[in-house]
Amino acid sequence: MIEQKYQKLVFAFLMALIMSCIMSFVISVFNVGWHAEIVHIWLKAWAFAFIIAFPTITVVAPLVHILVSYVVKSQDH
């Protein structure tokens, strides 16, 4: 198992993997339709999307946590 101290990194990796998979598939099908080469097109797009998504999530996630803390009312009030 992976150590607890890597939880945020593992979260970012899995989130990037799943979201880039879904989004690249939807966008690929939207752009070219059910083409004979859709799997090849999608996997190529997925690889590129993941390369962008993983570092982006590692940078953006802490900022999103801060924004959420401003938007969500705490239970103390």
Each of the 77 residues of the chain gets a pLDDT tens digit; together they read 999 999 999 999 999 999 999 999 999 999 999 989 999 999 999 999 999 999 999 999 999 999 999 999 888 75
Q: What's the pLDDT score for residue 38?
A: 97
Q: What's the pLDDT score for residue 19?
A: 97
Closest Cα to residue 59, out of 18, 15, 1, 24? 15
Domain that residue 54 falls in:
4-71
For residue 77, is it within any domain? no
What is the Cα gyration radius of the chain?
17
For residue 76, is it within any domain? no
pTM of the model as a whole: 0.84
Q: What's the pLDDT score for residue 74?
A: 81
For residue 61, is it within any domain? yes
The number of folded domains in the chain is: 1
For residue 49, is it within any domain? yes
